[in-house]
Structure formats: structure tokens, C-alpha cells
């Protein structure tokens, strides 16, 4: 009987990329990938540990897998597994706990089949090279991700990721180019460059290189139609990158920038290395050169010591910036980070109310940005199709557009005449 496996993935695009790579290798090894709810004989939970809530979600997925199939073998990996393997190995039914480094050889650990729970988690801080997991396709996705970097050197006071992913390590440019060529040959029109800290790409390589140089090589050495960048630290967006994006037919006009707070004192406590004036000037420069670009911000609300005045500063700053959307995260007390013991912890009810206000502002900003494109034509990559004769596509500037079409359009690039904004989406007709 064919062995069945289900993968459950929490967290960032780096985790999504690594899960896709593991899925591809499992299929090649003879496993049949099934939905989580099917009760597979093997379940792999690729965890996130950014917040206490994601830790709880990971534990709940493990227990749910055992309820669906009490005889299943549960393997846990990812960032939660890296920083607290003992907590996970103690959960009944967990057969194997693998660290982030061990992901690259996960099949070898699966074949060992030990009766007792095994923990294989090495010291991630000792890693000096990024290992690119081979990947040729993304199941049920029209866009592909390529991991160009791993780890982070920033050590923000609220963040556990440097301890879960190690120091910043870059994939060699030739490997990135080769993977993009493979994905382009498989029909992917868009690739998203992902990692933990991609703005620092190439600083650890010999010879030293940069994200801008990698982008240049991808444009010149591949046939990729659309290239999108993942999250970039504000201090790592040079004018030359903005200018290239403005001039490029390939590089999507889309910036995802973590602001985190709009108050200088809070930024200092977060160990963020810029102030609000610097950030405002950066966004203004982007908007001046790329007025139609999507500019999305990450924000943390309820950080220790964030007063009502500091929160009001954040609201005022974001209100004044020409941004297209917000990703809002209530502060989470993550053990192992300096922020846990900081004075001035904000009451949960206040954090919840502040998050709601920021999300309301973000929704308004997104609606106003999207409505500017009514009456214009946008190129989209079709992501989903078929449901009730309607397709969804993503524009170069990160807008979702719904239009009539069938599932056979998935993965194609189309021009769509935008006609209206309804229920959180643009609507249009293919030209």
C-alpha cells in the first residue's frame, strides 16, 4: 500500500518554500501527499515560533493529527522545533523532532524509524552556509518562491528568529539563477525572492554581492516575466534598487517594508536602526519614482512602553504615508527575547483595540489605493480559477482582481480592464 503523508505549514514564505521542497522529495520517494484532514500515516508539521499563538497552533496541529489517525507518525520541524525541541518531543505521538538545519536531510531521518521519540536539532548558530533545497514546482500555486537567504543578524528586541534561523547566510547567485531557470521552464510567470533578511543578501559571500546585483543577473540571464521581492528592511533599500524597479519591465512595483512602530522611542526599544523621519523620507522617495507601487508595512502594536501618545504617533505617521496596505501584529511576549522582561507591558485589551484601529486604517488605505485603478488595465497572473466561473489574478502591484474565466487560465498572464471595487476586490473583464 502506498504510504500517505500530509504537511501542515505555519508562518513565513521561507517555511512555505521549505515545505514545498520537502513535499517534492516525499513524492519522489514514493509517498502520496494527501490533505491534512485525510488522516495520513505520516504527518509533518513545519512550525513557526514568532508568537506564543503560533506555538499553540503547532501543538494543536500535532494533537489533531493524532485524533485523525491515532496510528500516524508525527514529525515536527521548523522554528519552534529549533528553539524548544523538548516541549514538542514531550507531546504524545511525536516520533521525530528536526531542527531547521536537519530539514535538508529529513528523508534520512524518516528511514531510521526508531521506536522512541528522537530529537535531532543541531546548533543553528554554527551554520555558515545557506543550503538551497531543490524545488521544481509548487503544488496548486501559479507563482513560485525561491529562497535566496536564511537567517538574520538584526536581533530586534521582540524577535526570536535569529535564534531559530541562525546568522544571515546567502545562497550563491548561480544556484538562484539555475532554480529560476528551472521554474521558468516549468511555466511559472512570476517568482518571489524570499528569505528571512533578503536585504542583507550577498554580504557573507566571497566575492561580496548584493540583492541589486542578483536582481540584475536574474533579469539579464533568465526568461522570467515577473520578479517580486519579499520583505526588505528600510535601511536596506538603496535608491539604486528603487530606480531599477521604476525602469524594469520585470521587477514588480511592490515593496514590503517592516516599519513596526511610528514612534522613535518605541523604535529604539525595539532595537530598530532608523527613526520615523528616515522611514517617511524612504517611502516618499519610493512614491515619487513609483506612484503606482504597492507599499505594504508591518506594524507591531502594544510593544512594552508604548503609551497612548506613542500609538497616536504611529497612527498619524501611517495616515500621512502613501502606503497601500498594512500587516498588523499585536505584540507577543516571546520567551528568550529582551522584550519579555521590559517594563511597561501593555494590557491585552488595549493591544486588541489598537490592532483593530490599525487594521481599519489599513483597510481604508488598501481600498483607496485599489480604487485608483478603476478604469485602467492591469496585467495579472491568474492564481485561481473555476469557482462559479470566476478567476482571481494578482497584479504586478499586488492587487487581487476578480474576472470571468475558467480554471484552465491558472498560471497565465492576462490583461484585465478594471471596472469596479466590491467586497474587498477589484473586478474586471479580460481584454
List, as own/partner pairs, every contact residues 178-182 make where C-beta atoms lie below 8 angstroms and the sequence separation is at least 24, other chains included: 179/132, 179/134, 179/135, 179/146, 180/146, 180/218, 180/222, 180/224, 181/222, 181/223, 182/136
pLDDT digits (tens, 9 = 90+) for 230-271: 999 999 999 999 999 999 999 999 999 999 999 999 999 999
pLDDT digits (tens, 9 = 90+) for 143-159: 899 999 999 999 999 99
Mean pLDDT within 182-194:
94
Provide the pLDDT confidence category of residue 421 given band limits of 50, 70 and 90: very high
Instruction: Enumerate residues 6+ apart whose C-beta is below 8 A from 174.
Output: none
- Is 377 a residue whose pLDDT tops 70? yes
- Burial label for 418, CB within 10 Å (0-12, 13-18, 19+), is buried
Q: What percent of the chain has pLDDT over 70?
A: 98
CATH superfamily, domain at 143-371: tm_1862 like domain (3.80.30.20)
Mean pLDDT within 363-380:
98
Residues of the chain with CATH 2.40.50: 377-430
What pLDDT score was predicted for residue 215? 98
Provide the pLDDT confidence category of residue 387 given band limits of 50, 70 and 90: low
Residues of the chain with CATH 3.80.30.20: 143-371
pLDDT digits (tens, 9 = 90+) for 116-132: 789 999 999 888 888 87
Q: Specify the CATH number of the domain 4-122.
A: 3.40.50.12160
Mean pLDDT within 300-311:
97
Q: Give me 413's grid cell.
A: 498572464
Q: Specify the CATH number of the domain 377-430.
A: 2.40.50
pLDDT digits (tens, 9 = 90+) for 88-117: 999 999 999 999 999 989 999 988 766 678
pTM: 0.91
Residues of the chain with CATH 3.40.50.12160: 4-122
What pLDDT score was predicted for residue 111? 81
Mean pLDDT within 65-77:
94
CB 193 within 8 A of CB 202: no
Amino acid at each position: 500500500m502506498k504510504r500517505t503523508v500530509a504537511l501542515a505549514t505555519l508562518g513565513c514564505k521561507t517555511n512555505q518554500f521549505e515545505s514545498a521542497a520537502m513535499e517534492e522529495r516525499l513524492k519522489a520517494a514514493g509517498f502520496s501527499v494527501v490533505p491534512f484532514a485525510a488522516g495520513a500515516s505520516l504527518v509533518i508539521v513545519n512550525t513557526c515560533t514568532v508568537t506564543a499563538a503560533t506555538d499553540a497552533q503547532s501543538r494543536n496541529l500535532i494533537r489533531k493529527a493524532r485524533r485523525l489517525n491515532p496510528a500516524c507518525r508525527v514529525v515536527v520541524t521548523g522554528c519552534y522545533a529549533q528553539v524548544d525541541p523538548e516541549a514538542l518531543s514531550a507531546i504524545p505521538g511525536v516520533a521525530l523532532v528536526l531542527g531547521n538545519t536537519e530539514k535538508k536531510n529529513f528523508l534520512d531521518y524518516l528511514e531510521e524509524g526508531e521506536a522512541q521519540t528522537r530529537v535531532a536539532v543541531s546548533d543553528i548558530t554554527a551554520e555558515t552556509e545557506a543550503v538551497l533545497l531543490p524545488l521544481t514546482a509548487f503544488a496548486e500555486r501559479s507563482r513560485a518562491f525561491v529562497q535566496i537567504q536564511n537567517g538574520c543578524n538584526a536581533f530586534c528586541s521582540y524577535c526570536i528568529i535569529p535564534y531559530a534561523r541562525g546568522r544571515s547566510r546567502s545562497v550563491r547567485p548561480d544556484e538562484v539563477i539555475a532554480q529560476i531557470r528551472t521554474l521558468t521552464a516549468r511555466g511559472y510567470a512570476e517568482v518571489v525572492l524570499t528569505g528571512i533578511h533578503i536585504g542583507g543578501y550577498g554580504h557573507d559571500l566571497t566575492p561580496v554581492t548584493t540583492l541589486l546585483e542578483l536582481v540584475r543577473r536574474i533579469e539579464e540571464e533568465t526568461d522570467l516575466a515577473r520578479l517580486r521581492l519579499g520583505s526588505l528592511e528600510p535601511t536596506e533599500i538603496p535608491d539604486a534598487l528603487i530606480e531599477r524597479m521604476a525602469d524594469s519591465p520585470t521587477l514588480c512595483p511592490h515593496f514590503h517594508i517592516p516599519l513596526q512602530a511610528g514612534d522613535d522611542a518605541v523604535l529604539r526599544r525595539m532595537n530598530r536602526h532608523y527613526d520615523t523621519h528616515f522611514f517617511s523620507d524612504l517611502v516618499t522617495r519610493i512614491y515619487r519614482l513609483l506612484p503606482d507601487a504597492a507599499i505594504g508595512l508591518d506594524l507591531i502594536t502594544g510593544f512594552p512602553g508604548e503609551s497612548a501618545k506613542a500609538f497616536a504617533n504611529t497612527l498619524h505617521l501611517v495616515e500621512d504615508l502613501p502606503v497601500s496596505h498594512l500587516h498588523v501584529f499585536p505584540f507577543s511576549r516571546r520567551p528568550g527575547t529582551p522584550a519579555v522582561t521590559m517594563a511597561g507591558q501593555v494590557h491585552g485589551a488595549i493591544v486588541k483595540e489598537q490592532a483593530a484601529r490599525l487594521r481599519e486604517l489599513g483597510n481604508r488605505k488598501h481600498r483607496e489605493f485599489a480604487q485608483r485603478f478603476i478604469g485602467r488595465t492591469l496585467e495579472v497572473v491568474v492564481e485561481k480559477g473555476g469557482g462559479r466561473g470566476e478567476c482571481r489574478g494578482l497584479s504586478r502591484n499586488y492587487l487581487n482582481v476578480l474576472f470571468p474565466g475558467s480554471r484552465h487560465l491558472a498560471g497565465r498572464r492576462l490583461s484585465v480592464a478594471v471596472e469596479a471595487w466590491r467586497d474587498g476586490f477589484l473586478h474586471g473583464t479580460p481584454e
